[in-house]
Amino acid sequence: METASILKVFIPATASFVTGILFAPVLVHYLYRYKVWKKQTRKTALDGTRAVEFEKLRMTVHGGNEVSTPRMGGILIWASVGFVTLLAWASARLLPMPLTEKLDFLSRSQTWIPLFTLLAGALMGFVNDLLDIQPGGERGIRLSTRLIFVTLVSLFIGSWFYFKLGVTAIGIPADGTLALGALIIPLFVLISLGLYAGGVIDGIDGLSGGVFAAAFMAYAGIAYFQNQINLAAFSATLTGGILAFLWFNIPPARFWMTETGTMGLTMTLAVVAFMTDTLGKGYGVVALPIIAFPLVVTVLSNIIQVTSKKLRGGKKIFRIAPLHHHFEAIGWPSYKVTMRYWVISVVCAIVGMSVALLK
């Protein structure tokens, strides 16, 4: 790959990180000034029963600080990415020269769809968070409504892949492709919903940032080696914004990502996975469960817990779900859970990249 392509990936990523670092103090100031946190903590478990273990964990491990840590930290991510993307695009048009034109990574073929997805999810998540911090307990958008939103957006994007881009199959390593035809649309919807369910990984200081950063950096590498340079630059720019968020999210967190971050990121991850599949002559979809393994086990632990309680008369498999809270409940310090998830995320990113780029 030529040096210019490498710079096109790393310069926007660095710019996004620096933008996030500079913007964060302003965001933190307003989040604390307007007390952007829950006025009352969650009281129900996944199956609707009282969250006894969660309450114990909140008080003994987290010191009850959920009501004093601001939400909406995800604003830092999409605002940084949006700013850098717009700056690169505007610079190429207002100051046309080889460098500015090369750094413009906003393109219809590679970045319009993931950018739209990121901003759509972020906006919906922002509204949810805004309602969630109102006095009187949890008043965010109902989960069923959020799931419908994710489904509708995913139907639109899945249809775009099928009808506009001609995506009818997913790549299978050593076997070519698996033809799905129009079933590619519901597959994309299911993957989007599954990843969105994994957004609850934003439950420990520093956890979600490390997991998402590793995942998007992996796909930046995959897209780069597929010569989808604009997509690689976008994914790397997202990684830069996430790392800036993580800088302020490590213990003790200055803010949490919440829905305005997790909804946009999970939905965008599904889009990027599909764009690095047959469109990039790779195996981005097959690699997704590996790259996003921490999100996958988060969802599975919730499913296993709820199923066990329903079928076994209230008996649980885990002390508390999702899995990262189970580790806390059995005595692991929060920082140990977070750092081990980081290690696993990096390993999974490397293995997933290798799978996605198999020939």
Does the CA dihedral 333-339-344-349 come out positive or negative? Answer: positive
Long-range pairs, 58-63, Cβ under 8 A, ≥24? 61/328, 61/334, 62/334
Residue type, 294: P
Q: In this predicted structure, what is the pLDDT of residue 42?
A: 57
Beta strands in the chain (DSSP E): 169-172, 176-179
Phi-psi region for residue 79, left (φ > 0), alpha (ψ -120 to 50) or beta? alpha
9 in Cβ contact with 233 (< 8 Å): yes
Task: Classify residue 135 by burial, with Cβ atoms within 10 Å: 0-12, 13-18, 19+.
Answer: exposed
Q: Is the pTM of this model over 0.85?
A: yes
Alpha-carbon gap, residue 150 to 194, rounded angstroms: 10
d(CA 275, CA 285): 9
Given this model, what pLDDT does residue 326 score? 94
- The C-alpha angle 162, 165, 166, rounded to 5 degrees, equals 55
Q: What are residue 227's phi and psi, to 5 degrees?
A: 65, 25
DSSP codes, 275-312: HTTGGGTS-HHHHHHHHTHHHHHHHHHHHHHHHHHHHT
Provide the number of structural domains found in the chain.
1
Written in H, E and C, the secondary structure of 78-112 is: HHHHHHHHHHHHHHHHHCCCHHHHHHCCCCCCCCH
**What's the CA gap between 76 and 20, in Å, rounded?**
6
Domain that holds residue 51: 3-356
Written as tens digits, the pLDDT of the chain (359 aa) is: 577 799 999 999 999 999 999 999 999 999 999 999 886 665 565 555 656 666 666 665 555 555 678 999 999 999 999 999 999 999 999 999 999 999 999 999 999 999 999 999 999 999 999 999 887 656 789 999 999 999 999 999 999 999 999 999 999 998 789 999 999 999 999 999 999 999 999 989 999 999 999 999 999 999 999 999 999 999 999 999 999 999 999 989 999 999 999 999 999 999 999 999 999 999 999 999 999 999 999 999 999 999 999 999 889 999 999 999 999 999 999 999 999 999 999 999 999 999 999 87
